[in-house]
Structure 1
Amino acid sequence: MKIGLIGFSTRNYIPYIEYYENIFKSNNISYECIFWDRFNNDNTKKKSNEYTIHVVCKPGMNKLRKIFPMYKFKMELERIIEKEQYTHLVVLTTVPGVLIWKKLLAGFKNRYILDIRDYSYEKYGWYRKIVEKLIANSYFTAISSNGFKAFLPQSNKIITCHNIGSNFHEEKEVIDLKDKEKITIGFVGGIRYFEENCKLINIFANNPKYQLTYIGRKNLDCDLEGYCKKKGIKNVLFKGEFNNAEKPEIYKQIDFINAIYGNESLEVTTALPNRLYDGILFKKPILASKGTYLEEIVKKYGLGFTINLETVDINIVESYLNYYERRKFYENCQKYLEIIKKDQIEFIKNITYFTEC
């Protein structure tokens, strides 16, 4: 058995890949990872058991301009699969699965896992039909949000997993937000959703009690820093890329997590972002958008509060602070973390069965 793990980005954006790798290592199964560096053009590099395909296809690029780099990625991916003679595959997200769908159905039926982490092009009927075929012919299909069932076919092959690494850091203390003179609202991750974040920034613009922080690589279509300079907004801080090992220190400087994504498309209304898990692990309340599956989770488990960007003002944050109880919030985080752990045990069990087929 030799397994190929196919990612659609670099390792830093795929924390859950550890679950697969840990099981493969513990069972002495040969495997290799294939990543896509979408920010640099270069020859494909192999280091140890990791391939990195270098083809520029930056988030926020015009969709037509993505066609050629997608094609190059597909061709290079298929070349590696042929060269390495993998017996099994794990396909992380639907796009690479759709790009090589004929190869998967012809050569890997019931010998691949499809791992779905977001909504992509399912609004197109042809894409949706291919995804349906991929699910039906997979060994099993993992989804990171039950909200995805709104656009996926019903199937007994679908199981729930979570966008959380296996070796996560968990804070045991919760700070009392009521004692803080200044509140920092932080967005940690790939910076996008320009219009929604402009509205959020405007709510807190130049208010001395609030600091907004954006940490991560920005999308081409999300120049929030330029927007703040143009509007003369001084209480917004921008920092560049980070690696996941830095998160514990990053979140020590943050009081609320900005998980505002809008609610106008299935891409944002059905997903559960990495920031949800950051909030649970680092014990930070989450700001979520109304009309999303994230809102359901945040409300149900008491993990923060939701806002409507069209009508909200600072009073909703002040109201949350007035009723905030750090011990209760800690307990809420732990309850949801236990649910996640149970789901992950079932997920891991299915990966183990996969290695035996």
Structure 2
Amino acid sequence: MSAALEKKQDAESKMKIGLILPANIWGCPYTNIYTEILKENKVDFDLISWNRDGSENNTGLQFEKQLCRKNRYSKLIPYLSYISFIKKIIRKNKYNKLIIHGSQIAILLSSFLRKHYNKRYIFDYRDITIDQLWYFKRNLHAVLRGSFVNIISSPGFKKHLPNSYEYFLSHNFNVEEARQALTTKTNNTKSDIIRVLTIGTIRDYVSNVEVIKALANKQGYLLQFVGKGVAQPLIEQYVKINNVRNIELEGYYPKKNEAKYITGSTILNIFLPKTSHRCSAALANRFYHGLIHKKPMIVTAHSTHSEFIVQNQLGLALDDCANLDKKIKNFLQSLDQNKFSDQCNSLLRTFIEDYQLFKSIVVSFIKT
């Protein structure tokens, strides 16, 4: 073995990467997409996260100050404190490279990244946040320009990002589950009860209540909300005040139980706020659950979700929830399960190809 090759392998073996998250670890499942690749390539790494809701106990390198949500300005101080915490950890551990999740974190770190990690970080963009405010545009450009590569989780984000940079897709799914789904037959047995499932982070109150209102106490329907988030307690209160009886509300669930909830459902709810760019441009985890488990979906019209749903006939794309019960029944009655499964698999194959390109980029980042 040549001395140059030995030196390169020794450098790779000593490499350590810091993965910086914008929130709790439980709220950032997409991190696993990176950590699996890092483990496969025997690269040491740390997760730096923010225990924003106080629900996690001493989970690695974690900032413990909870986020105040009273107004925009009350959020700023905890964010700046978290940025200070991140810088302290990076300086202490001297990471070779970084993977930055979230535009708000990347923007607030922009000068630090430019000075210390130029072309030595991946910028992973999965949510529209402060990057759309005019006074952060210069910082956003600095982040995009200084990265090794810019990753987005939805093609819809391209409409809201500067078009002078190249972006690559990283989908919010487990690629092995997606591959297995291509060869797994669906088992959507007919039932007298139509189970409408909302699973994952429960962020929005208005759109979820619109679905609840449309199906409240309707015969033959069961609403299921599984997960936690800022809207969860408000939804519980609405259900109690309005005596909604055909609903099951569960909070946090172990990831290992997720498939059980999804396979037991009839249709997935991804009806999100109509006026929010943040929601209309994103692709939710539930969207990938629908493809993998072959479940129809309810989505908002004129969104990135609806582009996929309408083109592939995978569910309902709605402006509002008027007559939702009839629309769901009509769709299910006309559903050709074999054709539906084929359409799901066609999209999954495309997304798996996207993953292969993404993985090759991350491996190149590690080895460069």
TM superposition score normalised by structure 1: 0.92
Deviates more, 1:296-305 or 1:210-219: 296-305
1:174 aligns with 2:191: no
| 1:334-345 pair list within 5 angstroms | 334-345=345-356
Q: Deviations over 1:158-200 (max 9, x none)?
A: 11111113443755233446x3211010100111221111111
| Equivalent in the alignment of 2:6 | none
Structure 1 residue aligned with 2:133: 124
User: What is the match of residue 348 of structure 1?
Assistant: 359
Distance between the aligned counterparts of 2:80 and 2:176, measured in 1?
Answer: 35
Compute the displacement of 1:41 (Å). 8.9
Per the alignment, residue 16 of structure 1 pairs with: 30
Tell me which residue corresponds to 1:53: 63
Q: Secondary structure at the match of 1:223?
A: helix
Contact 1:136 1:155 in 2 (8 A): no
State whether residues 268 and 290 of structure 2, in contact with CA within 8 Å, keep that contact through their aligned partners in structure 1: yes
The residue correspondences of 1:322-333 to structure 2 (distance < 5 A) are 322-333=333-344
Residue 192 of structure 1 is matched in structure 2 by 203
Deviation at 1:202, TM superposition (A): 1.1
CA distance in 2, matches of 1:302, 1:313: 17
The 1:8–1:105 alpha-carbon spacing in structure 2 relative to 1, beyond 3 Å, is same
Displacement of 1:24 in angstroms is: 2.1
**1:33 has 2:84 as partner:** no
Distance 1:155 1:83 in 2: 35
Out of 232-241 and 167-176, give the one that drifted further: 167-176
1:152-231 alignment runs, 5 A limit: 152-168=161-177, 172-176=184-188, 179-219=190-230, 223-231=234-242
Q: Say whether residues 1:102 and 2:99 are aligned partners.
A: no
Higher normalized helix content (fraction of residues): 2
Tell me if structure 1 keeps the 8 A contact 2:121–2:147: yes
Q: Which segment drifts farther, 279-288 or 218-227?
A: 218-227
C-alpha RMSD of matched pairs (Å): 2.0
Give the SS at the match of 2:75.
Answer: helix
Distance 1:41 1:291 in 2: 35
The residue type equivalent to 2:126 in the other structure is R
Give the aligned length.
351
Kept in 1: contact 2:110–2:143 (CA 8 A): yes
Q: Which structure's relative contact order is higher, taking Cα pairs within 8 Å and 6+ residues apart?
A: 1
Contact 1:18/1:166, CA 8 A, preserved across alignment: no
Sequence identity percentage: 23
* TM alignment of 1:259-338, pairs within 5 A: 259-309=270-320, 311-338=322-349
Q: Is the 8 A contact 2:24 2:53 kept in 1?
A: no
List per-residue Cα deviations over 1:204-223 (Å, max 9, x = no partner): 11012101111111315861
Deviations 1:310-339 (A, max 9, x none): 644322112101211111111111111001
Relative to structure 1, the CA distance from residue 61 to residue 324 in structure 2 (aligned partners, 3 Å threshold; closer, same or farther) is farther
- Is the partner of 2:177 in helix, strand or coil? coil
Runs of 4+ off more than 4 Å = none
SS at match of 1:287: strand
Aligned AA (1:120):
T
- Which of 253, 257, 264 does residue 242 from structure 1 map onto? 253
CA distance in 2, matches of 1:155, 1:348: 23
Structure 1 unaligned blocks of 5 or more:
none
